[in-house]
Amino acid sequence: MNEKDKKQISKFLSLVLRHQPDYIGLHLNENGWADINELIKKSKLKNLNFSFEELEDIVVTNDKQRFAFNEDESKIRANQGHSVKTIDLQLQAVQPPTLLYHGTVAKFMQSIKAKGLQKRSRQHVHLSEDKDTATKVGSRRGVPVILKIRALDMHQKGYEFYRSENNVWLTDSVPFEFIIFE
């Protein structure tokens, strides 16, 4: 499978495993898991043909580790980023590091300064431990603006943080007073 096909299938997986399983009539259980055989079969309805081995290659080599298999590799799910509200990833609250980072672009800064970071249609606000990752995230929409988040201070004030399987930090919101604007 070439890189173009891998990217197309990866984007398709993000769509059906995170946002629109109904696009192909895919069933996600309450924890976001989909049966792999059902996924492969129903993907053909949208002219996307891939084997388990090709799917496995995408899961293993994805640079952001967006997807995961269950232990016996009969099911697959997205590690985070769901807009499907009924998904519970069963994440445990953990103490964050002192600072986390969020990548965005200038057009959102006025709203962020007024309301902080909001999850909007997703289940959580996504944060990273390093500036490089935040820069890559912000760069997807233009020139990135990197915000520092006083995560430990938030945690000490009662805000919960979670870390997904692929090391993305998640929280419900980030009030503006915990954001360092530089």
pLDDT in tens, 132-175: 989 988 888 889 999 999 999 999 999 999 998 888 899 999 99
Q: Is residue 105 located within the same domain as residue 69? A: no
* Number of compact structural domains in the chain: 2
**Weakest mean pLDDT among 14-18, 96-100, 118-122:** 118-122
Per the structure, the complete domain to which residue 126 belongs is given by: 100-180
> Of the candidates 78, 108, 134, which is a domain's last residue?
78
Cα gap 50→23, rounded to integer Å = 17
Residue 135 belongs to a domain: yes
CATH assignment of the domain containing 148: 3.20.170.30
Q: What are phi and psi of 26, to 5 degrees?
A: -85, 135
Q: Is residue 73 located within the same domain as residue 107? A: no
**What's the pTM?**
0.70
Q: Is residue 122 located within the same domain as residue 55? A: no
Q: What is the DSSP string of 51-119?
A: -HHHHHHHHHH-TT--EEE-TTSSEEEESS----TT----PPB-PPPS-EEEEEEGGGHHHHHHH-EE-
CATH assignment of the domain containing 18: 1.10.10.970
Residue 83 has pLDDT above 80, yes or no: no
Cα gap 10→159, rounded to integer Å = 32
Radius of gyration of the chain (CA): 17
Q: Is residue 44 located within the same domain as residue 104? A: no
Q: What is the DSSP string of 99-116?
A: -EEEEEEGGGHHHHHHH-
Residue 84 belongs to a domain: no
Neighbours of 124 (CB within 10 A): 21
Residue 86 belongs to a domain: no
Q: Is residue 70 located within the same domain as residue 115? A: no
Residue 109 belongs to a domain: yes
Cα gap 87→12, rounded to integer Å = 18
Task: Please give the C-alpha separations between residue 131 and each of 128, 143, 146, 151, 175, in angstroms, as whole numbers.
Answer: 7, 14, 7, 14, 20
How much of the chain exceeds pLDDT 90, in percent? 69
Residue 25 belongs to a domain: yes
Q: Is residue 128 located within the same domain as residue 74? A: no
> Of the candidates 23, 43, 78, which is a domain's last residue?
78
Residue 92 belongs to a domain: no
Q: Is residue 48 located within the same domain as residue 104? A: no
Cα gap 69→83, rounded to integer Å = 20
Residues 6+ apart with CB under 8 A from 177: 116
> Of the candidates 78, 111, 140, which is a domain's last residue?
78
> CA angle 145-149-152, nearest 5°?
165
Residue 85 belongs to a domain: no
Residue 93 belongs to a domain: no
